[in-house]
Chain A
Amino acid sequence: MECDTAIIGGGVVGLSLAMNLAMFEGRGNNICLFESNYLGYGSSLRNAGRFRVHFGDERNLEFAIRSAEYLEELSKITGMNTLITKTGYLWIASDEAAYKTLKSTNELFKKWGVPLTEIPPELLYRNYPFLKERKEIIAGFFGKENGSIHPDSVIFGLERKARRLGVKILERSRVEEIEVKEGKVHSLRSRGVGVSVSRVVLANGAWMLEFSKNLQLNIPLEPVRKEIAVSEPFAFRISPFVVDSALHLYFSQTLKGEIIGSTTIGNEPKGVVELENRFAWMRTYANRLKKALKGSNFIRIIRTWSGYYEMTPDRSHIMGRMKSWPEGLYAIGGFSGHGFMLGPFAGKLMAEFLATGKEPRLMSLYTPERFSKGMTLNENFVIG
């Protein structure tokens, strides 16, 4: 088998890249996508299904605004209803530090035309009657540009469109090895079969570390395992995504009515570990949700699962390549918990770059070279 471009990883990033590259080139039959499990298995189908434009670093903010615009178009591009809705994010400032950060960053948001609305406590409880009254709450900040999108529909849509363009999608095909000859990627091996390739894009999230180690790529990426839970469904009442930094908690309702939420308990395991759940986490989550949500005593959890935040040192993603890497090798990942919201657009930029050879401005900021050159970003808006 031969592939011009091999994409490793069938998540939202890899699929978007494959689809967009095929769209740029007008055909997809020279693109192969390898997924070691089923499409979306890694992190794409393990998230809370939310997107936001509000990021603390101005560059990320611009990237996220453009990402949100792209997410809105996805239904039209892929032909699947992504069930996208702008249900908003509600930040609860319950300590002075959180309040200050939100207040000062809001100046930046205003500049970009996406201001947060500050809501005083009385109004907060009136608008969001499900919130428990707590005297430490200083204010709420509502961002209406943010919202929810259905991960399954996005994955299915990207897959369908990519397949229609001729992209060869190989599920349950782990890439065991990438072979480099004379400083250039030459071939790869999957399920024991060799495939010659002229370029390889690593888009396999946390599992990128394996190649990083074998090929000495030094990708500064550290997966952190996060847990999440859903309850049985209720009538849809909690429409915004509520974020409480003091409690390290977020929660909301899916359109189906389940209460989805998570909390960070501080000892999340790092590295590629088993994607299991801890009872201790569930107890902490229950405890914190009780402080924030009325009647949570009677809410029943029906499922918990876990997935990775692939953290980079500046909590921003990586796109492109380093000069020291074998020729023809690229990476896209390290979305630090924002892969589902930023990934589809990042995939599109990467595709544009691969198809035209010109690096789009928004992409060049995210080069993996930035860590050695001291050109890192400064992102402080990571939730959970």
Chain B
Amino acid sequence: MNYSPILETFRERIIPTASSPKFKRPRAPFYMERWCPWIRAHSPKGVTYLYLPHSSSNPSPKYSMELISKARKELGSAGFYHSILVRRLWNTVWKTVVKMSGNPELPMEDIELPEPHEEVIEGGVAIIAGDGAGLKLANRVVELTGNNVVLIATKPFSRLKEESGEGARGNVTILESVYLGKFEDGVYALSEEKREIYRIAANTLAFVTGVRDAMPIFENNDLPGVVSAELAKFLIVGHGALRDVRKIAVLSNDKRGLEAAREFSRFKETTVVSVGSLKKRESIDWDGELVVAEEVKATGYPVVEGLKIISSKEEELQTDLIVSAITGIPDIEPVLQAGGRLVYSKYLGAPTVGTEKGYVKGTKNLFFLGRASGTPEDLVSKEVELVSKVISGKSLSSEEEKELNNIQSSKGLAPLEDTIINNSPELLLTRDIRGMKFVCTCQDVTLEDVILAYDMGYKDLERIKRFTALGTGTCQGRICRISSSLAISYFRKTPLGSLGGFKQRPPLEPVELGMIY
């Protein structure tokens, strides 16, 4: 079978290519993150094998038992399992059903590893930073208090330096690590490279987590060849990989996407597909190929060959790679797990965790700021400056109070109860629910499954999760929590508040048992 270059690249470098659990179609990772389904390992310095190559299952052709496929499509996956057909046969067919999963084999092989070292890191303030603004915050707090500040860098520190444009002050303890979350017995992070476990003894936690690429919902959005802008940058710009890819289509709805497209255009033939609010051609600062789309469909199987563009008319675009640079999704999971509550940010056009002048609403020692909290990009630095004073226990002048209030109102936070998504969310590049449109790629839950479950009476995310298995995979809802609630609210005109959410539990990122025993 002919697999795409991207699939080959992944196979050589990371072995993430597996087939999806229910449809058994080949699938490649969308994100370059540890929690992304099919990415088995990712360390800040590069990519390493986690599983021995033979234990990773090969991509297999699409499962094509007529009756089952038909029934599954008709009833949705959960409806299918509960149908009379399957219920009657269950006792005899369960082994076959279980075998149909596209999961990798058990590792089965042991390698003796040294025991990890556990260390207590003291600091009055700990900052969980996935964005350059986190480093800025750490520096400001050190400048104001002179005390030690712990910076848990959830991406390579060099990236944080690049993003913030500054280095770290002397009193900033930098832990390039995986943030595992707030447990009952402490806040924990982990360095896989150094085999070290950090227990962070801090009174104050500040989250500056940043945003990540949204996984858009459109036909065939899971095929190998559909990747996030970050991952595409990592592969093409960072590693000179994907030599065989000639044409790239970049889905974009803001200037960030155009910037990404400009970077790619140095290496590849790049077309911008502008979607969402970036529809007016004259407002787009891009000289190359450009198409405007209302909705899109990826074509080709098992690899992406093109993109069907649907606006006033339909047209086909040839491409080897589809890069999604649709507006970011806030990284709210760490804050939710620590005790934050969801609200809707009009600025982000997505749910985030509710804050009040930097504080996580309802708490006294948790802070959440930066783009993920809904702050417009141009105000982030100012917010960091002001909130660092609050964290350091300094009082704000009335002028500064006013500025902080302005930042607060520019986030446009509104209770979920009052919010119905009336306009199509930017990440929704389709107008109907049918088809292979994946909301949750860990568990193969399609848009149709989710809407069907809702129509069957499972009216909140907690129940939809339990009925469809949405959000129960490796990413624990990072990909689907926000997109599914936006989609349900849009298609069924129901307030986001009635959908609620589901509980985020530790560990926040998958943790290898060999790392903690």
Residues of A within 8 A of B (CB): 38, 45, 75, 79-81, 83-85, 129-130, 132, 152-153, 155-156, 231-238, 255-257, 274, 276-280, 282-283, 285-287, 289-290, 294-305
- Are the CB atoms of A277 and B111 closer together than 8 Å? no
- Are the CB atoms of A80 and B82 closer together than 8 Å? yes
Contact of B94 among A85, A153, A233, A304 (CB under 8 A): A85
- Are the CB atoms of B81 and A278 closer together than 8 Å? no
Q: Quick one: given A156-B466, A235-B106, A289-B513, are A282 and B113 in contact (CB under 8 Å)?
A: no
Residue in chain A with minimal CB distance to B98? A236
Bound complex: CA of A220 vs CA of B203, how far in Å?
39
Residue in chain A with minimal CB distance to B465? A152
Contact of A290 among B108, B183, B510, B513 (CB under 8 A): B513
- Are the CB atoms of A38 and B101 closer together than 8 Å? no
CB distance from A297 to the nearest CB of B (A): 3
Bound complex: CA of A238 vs CA of B110, how far in Å?
17
Give 12 CB contacts A-B under 8 Å: A81-B82, A84-B90, A156-B466, A233-B103, A235-B57, A235-B104, A235-B106, A257-B21, A282-B507, A286-B513, A294-B107, A296-B513
CB distance from A309 to the nearest CB of B (A): 18
- Are the CB atoms of A303 and B476 closer together than 8 Å? yes
Q: Quick one: given A278-B184, A301-B507, are A295 and B110 in contact (CB under 8 Å)?
A: yes
- Are the CB atoms of B473 and A279 closer together than 8 Å? no
Contact of B188 among A83, A279, A297 (CB under 8 A): A279
- Are the CB atoms of B469 and A256 closer together than 8 Å? yes
Known: A81-B87, A256-B472, A302-B507. 7 other contacts (CB 8 A): A130-B108, A238-B106, A286-B516, A295-B108, A296-B107, A297-B113, A298-B51
- Are the CB atoms of B101 and A236 closer together than 8 Å? yes
CB distance from B511 to the nearest CB of A (A): 5
Residue in chain B with minimal CB distance to A273? B184
Bound complex: CA of A319 vs CA of B188, how far in Å?
43
- Are the CB atoms of B467 and A280 closer together than 8 Å? no
Produce 1/0 per residue, B76-96, CB < 8 A to A.
Answer: 000001110011001100100
Q: Quick one: given A81-B86, A295-B106, A298-B107, are A283 and B517 in contact (CB under 8 Å)?
A: yes
Produce 1/0 per residue, B54-79, CB < 8 A to A.
Answer: 00010000000000000000000000
Q: Quick one: given A276-B183, A297-B514, are A237 and B507 in contact (CB under 8 Å)?
A: no
Residues of B within 8 A of A79 (CB): 82
Produce 1/0 per residue, B455-470, CB < 8 A to A.
Answer: 0000010110011010
- Are the CB atoms of A294 and B511 closer together than 8 Å? no
Bound complex: CA of A327 vs CA of B202, how far in Å?
53
- Are the CB atoms of B90 and A75 closer together than 8 Å? yes
Residue in chain B with minimal CB distance to A259? B106
Residues of B within 8 A of A256 (CB): 21, 101, 443, 469, 472
Bound complex: CA of A85 vs CA of B87, how far in Å?
12
Bound complex: CA of A3 vs CA of B495, how far in Å?
32
Residues of B within 8 A of A83 (CB): 81, 90, 94
- Are the CB atoms of B106 and A304 closer together than 8 Å? no
Q: Quick one: given A234-B105, A290-B517, are A301 and B82 in contact (CB under 8 Å)?
A: no
- Are the CB atoms of B513 and A234 closer together than 8 Å? no
Q: In this complex, which of A233, A295, A298 has the most chain B Cβ atoms within 10 angstroms of its Cβ? A: A298
Q: Is the interface of B mostly helix, strand, loop or mixed?
A: loop
Bound complex: CA of A138 vs CA of B50, how far in Å?
34
CB distance from A169 to the nearest CB of B (A): 12
Q: Which 8 A-B pairs have the closest CB atoms?
A: A297-B514, A295-B107, A300-B510, A286-B517, A298-B107, A286-B513, A276-B184, A152-B466
Bound complex: CA of A285 vs CA of B512, how far in Å?
12
Bound complex: CA of A84 vs CA of B93, how far in Å?
12
- Are the CB atoms of A294 and B108 closer together than 8 Å? yes
- Are the CB atoms of B513 and A277 closer together than 8 Å? no
Bound complex: CA of A304 vs CA of B180, how far in Å?
11
Residues of A within 8 A of B86 (CB): 81
- Are the CB atoms of A232 and B184 closer together than 8 Å? no
- Are the CB atoms of B106 and A234 closer together than 8 Å? yes
Residues of A within 8 A of B287 (CB): none
Residue in chain B with minimal CB distance to A238? B106
Q: In this complex, which of B50, B82, B185 has the most chain A Cβ atoms within 10 angstroms of its Cβ? A: B82
- Are the CB atoms of A233 and B101 closer together than 8 Å? yes
Chain B residues 435 to 489 lying within 8 A of chain A, measured CB to CB, are 443, 460, 462-463, 466-467, 469, 472-474, 476
Residues of B within 8 A of A304 (CB): 505-507
Chain B residues 184 to 203 lying within 8 A of chain A, measured CB to CB, are 184-186, 188, 199
Bound complex: CA of A138 vs CA of B88, how far in Å?
40
Residues of A within 8 A of B21 (CB): 233, 256-257
- Are the CB atoms of B101 and A277 closer together than 8 Å? no
CB distance from B324 to the nearest CB of A (A): 24
- Are the CB atoms of B104 and A234 closer together than 8 Å? yes
Residue in chain A with minimal CB distance to B97? A255
Residue in chain A with minimal CB distance to B107? A295
Chain B residues 167 to 189 lying within 8 A of chain A, measured CB to CB, are 180, 183-186, 188
Bound complex: CA of A79 vs CA of B88, how far in Å?
11
Residues of A within 8 A of B35 (CB): 302
Q: In this complex, which of A85, A280, A295 has the most chain B Cβ atoms within 10 angstroms of its Cβ? A: A295
Bound complex: CA of A221 vs CA of B105, how far in Å?
43
Q: Quick one: given A298-B51, A302-B507, A304-B506, are A278 and B94 in contact (CB under 8 Å)?
A: no
Contact of A297 among B103, B467, B513 (CB under 8 A): B513
Residue in chain B with minimal CB distance to A75? B87
- Are the CB atoms of B108 and A255 closer together than 8 Å? no
Residues of B within 8 A of A85 (CB): 90-91, 94
- B99 contacts A by Cβ under 8 Å: yes
- Are the CB atoms of A302 and B510 closer together than 8 Å? yes
Bound complex: CA of A261 vs CA of B379, how far in Å?
46
Bound complex: CA of A233 vs CA of B98, how far in Å?
12
Contact of A301 among B90, B109, B510 (CB under 8 A): B510
Residue in chain A with minimal CB distance to B182? A276
- Are the CB atoms of B98 and A255 closer together than 8 Å? yes
- Are the CB atoms of B101 and A300 closer together than 8 Å? no
Q: Quick one: given A45-B466, A297-B107, A304-B506, are A282 and B516 in contact (CB under 8 Å)?
A: yes
- Are the CB atoms of A302 and B474 closer together than 8 Å? yes
Bound complex: CA of A235 vs CA of B90, how far in Å?
19
Q: Quick one: given A235-B104, A287-B517, A295-B108, are A277 and B183 in contact (CB under 8 Å)?
A: yes
Q: In this complex, which of B83, B91, B460 has the most chain A Cβ atoms within 10 angstroms of its Cβ? A: B91
Bound complex: CA of A130 vs CA of B466, how far in Å?
29
Residues of B within 8 A of A80 (CB): 82, 87
- Are the CB atoms of B512 and A279 closer together than 8 Å? no
Bound complex: CA of A132 vs CA of B110, how far in Å?
10
CB distance from A240 to the nearest CB of B (A): 14
Bound complex: CA of A152 vs CA of B82, how far in Å?
12
Bound complex: CA of A162 vs CA of B507, how far in Å?
36
Residue in chain B with minimal CB distance to A76? B87
- Are the CB atoms of B510 and A277 closer together than 8 Å? no
Bound complex: CA of A75 vs CA of B89, how far in Å?
12
Residues of B within 8 A of A257 (CB): 21, 98, 101, 103
- Are the CB atoms of A280 and B185 closer together than 8 Å? yes
Bound complex: CA of A138 vs CA of B98, how far in Å?
31
- Are the CB atoms of A279 and B186 closer together than 8 Å? yes
- Are the CB atoms of B101 and A235 closer together than 8 Å? yes
CB distance from B104 to the nearest CB of A (A): 6
- Are the CB atoms of B507 and A235 closer together than 8 Å? no
